[in-house]
Amino acid sequence: MARNLDFVVSLARIAYSALCYFFTPLIIWRLLWRSFKAPAYAKRWGERWGYIDRQPSEAALIWLHAVSVGESLAAMPLVAALRVRYPNARIFITCMTPTGSQRISAAIGDDLSIGHSYAPYDSPTAVARFLRRAQPKLLIIMETELWPNTIAACYAQQIPVMLANARLSSKSARGYQRLPMLCRPMFTQLSGVAAQTEDDAARFLALGTRPTALRVTGNIKFDMSLGLDVIARAHELECQWRGSVNRPVWLAASTHAGEDRIVLAAFAVVKQQFPTLLLVLTPRHPERFDSVYKDCANAGFAVQRMSQSEPSLAAVDIVVGDTMGELLAYYGACDIAFVGGSLVPVGGHNMIEPAAWGLPILTGPEVHNFIEVARLLEQAGALRYCADATQLAVETIALLQDSDCRESMGRAALMVATANRGALSRLLQSLTELDIESL
């Protein structure tokens, strides 16, 4: 019986690997298509098939994978902690998107002890080529970026795999359950899972993760800190945006296609009661900066790009936030924050950042990527849900009219952000329990 099961599992992986090769032309076409809007997708293709520079072998290498921008930002405190915990090891960070790559490159600067590339696609040859050139002693994956061939190859080479800040929605869990012969071995082969919540942990267990490998450590995004440089930049932006008349500022952060127009419709209503209000609209993806700017102008607003803004914005209704890596400072310069990816079925974005600034937070109903954070903030009275443009306008007007309410919600948000710190130290303890002697 066990032999038959192993045979079926092997067939499942063979079929999956065949599909990886079969869809390679489609992957190439998709990269080309995306490069028309985001030219960075046309660059560094070799890295996506494992052609990275060979890494020096004299120091043990920790491979840290963060799929995109949010995970990359969350990984930076972990990178700093790893350098303290394993001072003789090198760190190599991978991601999948150009925006994530830009954030990683900006964060590591000229630090030669940290390497970076795109992650290999999950074909057996690409993964094998990457592992041969990188020779990692440990793989840490941020949140839930799991690939069967990558996990299997690491397991075969006795490279421990830790899933850090792990989250797994009910929807994602159901998707994995539909392919048990392919996915269950992958969850079984994980060396450690540091889950954000008890619910996440239960779903990992149901999918085959070993109980001895599982810990509930919390969300390391709560361990973010506001650096002096970020605070100084926020103060600079606040002076620029508010001007001499102390304009109120509403930030719509990390918006997606279809969401910007909802925000603009709400802004048109709010503007009737608060004519000096400035909207700072920040699209999630750089390739959308131009189209969002045009949408704002076509809606009849005076609009300016942040990258081209003048010191005085007195005649401007909307600033399009098109500068990379400054969203955290944007939060520090506004009165109310709407967190995007939540009025469209994306799953929401990081609400901890505005909470750390002590801001009242508005969001749409689609928050499954941050469901526990949203629950904590809502229970504390720091967050309000808005289903559409009308409700978004109503809630924004109510907050602009009531400074006491804004301050109360902001204090509650900051208390949530402060009370839930400590996940990073618990994650590091979980890594210690793996007992990786070569590090």
How far apart, in whole angstroms, are the C-alpha atoms of residue 287 and residue 433? 42
- Specify whether 71 is catalytic: yes
CA-wise closest residue to 102 among 130, 79, 68: 68
Q: At what angle do helices 198-206 and 170-177 cross, to 10 degrees?
A: 10
Q: Where are the beta strands (DSSP E) in 111-264?
A: 114-118, 138-142, 161-166, 192-195, 214-216, 249-255
CB atoms within 10 A of CB 191: 22
How far apart, in whole angstroms, are the C-alpha atoms of residue 414 and residue 195? 23
Helix extents (H) in 167-259: 170-177, 180-188, 198-206, 228-242
CB atoms within 10 A of CB 84: 8
Burial, 22: exposed, middle or buried (Cβ in 10 Å; 0-12, 13-18, 19+)? exposed
Question: What is the gyration radius of the CA atoms in the chain, in angstroms?
Answer: 23
In the three-class reduction of DSSP (H, G, I as helix; E, B as strand; rest coil), residue 356 is classed as helix
Q: Which of 47, 58, 71, 287 is catalytic?
A: 71
Give, for 317, the enclosing helix (H) or strand (E).
none
CB atoms within 10 A of CB 14: 11
- Alpha carbon distances (Å) from 158 to 26, 123, 211, 364: 32, 19, 20, 43
Q: Return the structure tokens found at 221.
A: 């995004």
How far apart, in whole angstroms, are the C-alpha atoms of residue 342 and residue 50? 34
| Catalytic residue IDs | 71
